[in-house]
A and B are shown apart, each in its own frame.
Chain A
Amino acid sequence: MAFRTLRRASAASVIALYLLAVSGCGTTDPPENSGQPDVDAQQECQDLAAQVEDGEDSADDRNDAGGETADTFIFGSSASPITLNPLHASDSDSFRVAHQIFETLVEAEPCGPGPSPLLATDWTSSDDGKTFDFTLRDDVTFHDGTEFDADVVCWNFEHWNNQPEGMAQSADITYHWSTLFKGFGDDSIYESCTTSGDSEVTIELNEPFASFVNALAIPAFSMQSPEALEKWGQIEDGGDPTATEYATAHPTGTGPYQFSSWNRGTSVNLTAFDDYWDGPPKTPHVTIKTIEDPQARADALRTGDVDAFDLVAPGDVPGLRDEDFTLIHRPSYNIQYLGMNQAAPPLDDLRVRQAIAHAIDREQLMKSTMTPGSEAANQFVPPVTNGYSDDVTEYEYDPEKARQLLEESGYEDLTIEFNYPTDVSRPYLPSPQDTFNQIRNDLQSVGITVVPVADQWSVYLSKIHGGEDHGIHVLGWTGEYNDADSFLGAKFSEETPEFGFTDQEVFDQLAEARGLPTPEEQEPAYQEANEMIMDRLPGLPLGHGVPVLALAPRVSGYVPSPVEDESWDTVTVREE
């Protein structure tokens, strides 16, 4: 009988050990800020950019030190690209590949969202915000040898505007064109494109679009080879544009790298384009490897399977730093906010919303739940945005005041639902659970009882966007180009179930600002909009997250961009 007891005892101890191990996971308290250094992402970025600019990046130093540079730069991405034709994509993984293969007329300036010359060397815009003239760079060729010139630009614009009906016009596929140009064919604000010689092109719109040039930095508007598109990019009626031969095997741009192979779901391989107008890239091959699990990505860096990866979780940052990996902080261009649903009383009472605002210690929130360098926000747009106002109403951290306001409004014993997503990680919200915990603690210490409602990402979104049945929630937004509208427009131009916000004045203000023809004219209008919004407080801006990249120490020459406009032609990997 002894062995039967042995059997039971062993089984029990295995179970006990297991439970002990997993109990360590899933803590309910936010992680402690274990002495993270203060990071100024903007400064860091400027320094990196300067280094690369001066060609002082350690590649030469390293070469002197006797090191060889490796043949391939391997980047670990969190998901597979959906398609290699950026016109039909909106996910950051497809865009990451696009940034290497394609170029737009303008690119994001170093370390900022504003425009900087790329395929266009100079531009002017008319006072009515409808006509834009571009001077194009000479001596640019596509990967297939065809020339880039003004005709190509117009061909591209026409091509975008005349996407066939069906999937090619679907919101999830041609998101950027349909959102920014409001439609296709006669419905869009695009009017015409005319050339003047090989290097001059004029675009005309039928409505003012002040940030038009800024928006052209978005990869969806990359210049693509007409010849290649005609040869391989035919879309059948109602067919799937992301599945054309062009999109899966022949994406043809002017960028430093050209397409080599795509092992769907595993990796994309690119190889140097030797005739690139700015000289061939420093590392001849690039591989973007898909590793879906965040843990596995970090591990891959540790074991050398990848040279870099993106969106490091705040919890992993100290560890990676201790292990001497290089951490690059993208200057922030996003917003994390706490939405408050005014369709759910008593959130319709301004004092209640103000109380909540005063109850949350945003500085601490950033320190303990976000990556280093993330800063607290006081409005819905990041500081570098055109239209950022220095005069918004501020709600300092003041629990006393919070309690006072609650008393005044008669809600000392407030109970509200707090919706938040599980198992998702966004640049503005890397650890929703931690953020939730921290905010909940703050609210509870002023007497508010929080009822947690946790849901899987898409379920969470359907609750927030789909109906009235939700309380406060945490969400955010990543900006793609320099325009306050990209932050405010989607949220506050009309009534939405997310905020239950019905202030017509704000809607009008935004509509007006949107219609102004130049960024300079828009600035004060948006500033006023921001001030109005912060007075009405439909939601509380919490902070601006700093996305962090982790690189192996052997990598140098990587310059980050707040809008992920990162081309790797300056990257070198030291051989080890």
Chain B
Amino acid sequence: MLRFVVIRLAQLLPTLFGLSILLFAWVRALPGDPAQALLGDRATPEAIDRINETYGFNEPLLTQYGMYLAALFRGDFGESIRMHEPVLSAFFDKLPATIELSVVALAFAVVVGVPLGYIAGRRAGTNVDGGIVVLSLIGSVVPVFFLALLLKYVFAIELEIFDSVGRQNARLDATHTTGFYILDGIINVQFAAAWDAFKHLILPGLALGTIPLAVIVRQTRGAVSEVIHEDYIRTARAKGLRSITITVRHVMRNALLPVVTTLGLQLGLLFSGAVLTETVFALDGVGQYLYQAIQDRDYPVLQGFILLIALLYALITLLVDLSYGFIDPRVRES
């Protein structure tokens, strides 16, 4: 297994390298430039020039890339041009918010999607099945920011059930140790703060969760409709087992295998949806920061964040692959 991990990580390097070149070229191909964005309406040609000098944007591209790469090897991802924050620490600063949001979204998608998929799979071909599939398509059809806005307006503004913005009520004065607000609330025995942080994630989690929901419903449905025709289900029935035992131990343990293995991949989808969801709900995460960076043409942030996200994603898929053995005993030997 160690060999497997090492090989995978080694394979990662050329991919990341290629990606870094791509990103480097792409951000510079965008119209507009960071100096202009930085100075805004105060820009004068001299000021722009001076900034370009300071940040080395006047150097030939190859030189710039060389310096960038060299810094990267030292673990230096540069600084945000606007915020003057080191990119790496900004990323890890914002990451907990995005992870919390993604986890809640994924949890929602699983908790709602798996049972729905099961029902659809059991009743494949009926109207119930069709209805469930259409319902799950909401996530694919409706853009996440629209859904986010809708939820915010109905539940937070009109009905005032939830708080509309931010990760937590500022007045609570909660202690933050890890950056994962819910976890922090628990660790520091400030349960009201943990609960408050969770409540702030309900609406955005719902909105974002509709993206993987569709996939999870379809996958579960497909897997279940196949598994229930398997011989071992027949054996289970012949044993006179209770329905619930058959469903959980025999149907779901097998049907969920393909679903679980793609959960890691769903996180990739979630990142893209997170950008806009975080903006609508003012959640201080990677997505929102990236959104701002695009407006600002903040090259180091754009290059760094996207590279880091790619790395994160690759690590997650690696973990998922490793977990195959844990989940499916047939794979364990190899």
The answer on direct contact between A and B (beta carbons under 8 Å) is yes
Of all chain A residues, which has the CB nearest B297?
Answer: A458
Q: Are A461 and B84 in contact (CB under 8 A)?
A: no
A74 to B166 CA separation, bound complex (whole angstroms): 13
Q: Which residues of A contact B34 (CB under 8 A)?
A: 458
Q: Are A302 and B157 in contact (CB under 8 A)?
A: yes
- Classify the secondary structure of B's interface with A: helix
Q: Which residues of A contact B47 (CB under 8 A)?
A: 171-172
Most buried by B among A11, A22, A475: A11
Q: How many of chain A's residues touch chain B, expressed as a range?
A: 35 or more
Q: Are B31 and A296 in contact (CB under 8 A)?
A: no
Stretch at the interface among B57-65, B99-107, B137-145: B137-145
Q: Which residues of B contact A83 (CB under 8 A)?
A: 84
Q: Are B164 and A302 in contact (CB under 8 A)?
A: yes
A347 to B285 CA separation, bound complex (whole angstroms): 47
**A348 on interface, CB distance cutoff 8 Å:** no
Q: Are B32 and A3 in contact (CB under 8 A)?
A: no
Whether A14 contacts B156 in the complex (CB less than 8 A), given A291-B165, A462-B36, A475-B41, comes out as no
Q: Are A172 and B39 in contact (CB under 8 A)?
A: yes
**B94 on interface, CB distance cutoff 8 Å:** yes
A426 to B171 CA separation, bound complex (whole angstroms): 30
Whether A458 contacts B41 in the complex (CB less than 8 A), given A296-B164, A299-B157, A305-B163, comes out as no
**A293 on interface, CB distance cutoff 8 Å:** yes
Whether A497 contacts B45 in the complex (CB less than 8 A), given A14-B142, A462-B31, comes out as yes
Q: Are A265 and B284 in contact (CB under 8 A)?
A: yes
**B77 on interface, CB distance cutoff 8 Å:** no
Whether A240 contacts B79 in the complex (CB less than 8 A), given A7-B134, A172-B47, comes out as yes
Q: Are B54 and A170 in contact (CB under 8 A)?
A: yes
**A459 on interface, CB distance cutoff 8 Å:** yes
**B133 on interface, CB distance cutoff 8 Å:** yes
Q: Which residues of B contact A305 (CB under 8 A)?
A: 163-166, 169-170
**A72 on interface, CB distance cutoff 8 Å:** yes
Whether A303 contacts B130 in the complex (CB less than 8 A), given A265-B93, A457-B295, A497-B45, comes out as no
Of all chain B residues, which has the CB nearest A18?
Answer: B142
**B42 on interface, CB distance cutoff 8 Å:** yes
The residues in B between 33 and 60 inclusive whose CB is less than 8 angstroms from any CB of A are: 33-48, 50-51, 54
Q: Which residues of B contact A205 (CB under 8 A)?
A: none
Which one of A243, A265, A458 contacts B296 once the chains associate, using CB atoms below 8 Å?
A458
Whether A296 contacts B157 in the complex (CB less than 8 A), given A167-B54, A170-B51, comes out as no
A416 to B164 CA separation, bound complex (whole angstroms): 44
User: What are the nearest 10 A-B pairs in CB distance?
Assistant: A3-B130, A458-B32, A458-B37, A459-B32, A242-B84, A10-B134, A171-B47, A459-B31, A291-B282, A299-B164
**Further contacts, 17 of them, CB under 8 A, given A11-B134, A300-B282, A426-B41:** A3-B126, A11-B141, A14-B137, A14-B138, A15-B141, A72-B170, A170-B51, A266-B167, A296-B281, A302-B157, A303-B164, A457-B32, A458-B32, A461-B36, A462-B33, A478-B41, A496-B44
Binding site for A on B (CB under 8 A): 31-48, 50-51, 54, 79, 82-86, 90, 93-94, 125-127, 129-131, 133-134, 137-138, 141-143, 146, 149, 152, 156-157, 160, 163-167, 169-171, 176, 279-282, 284, 288-289, 291-292, 295-297
A-B contact pairs, 21 of them (CB 8 A): A3-B130, A6-B127, A14-B134, A14-B142, A72-B171, A170-B50, A171-B46, A172-B38, A264-B85, A265-B90, A291-B166, A291-B282, A297-B165, A299-B152, A305-B164, A305-B170, A426-B41, A461-B40, A461-B41, A466-B45, A490-B44
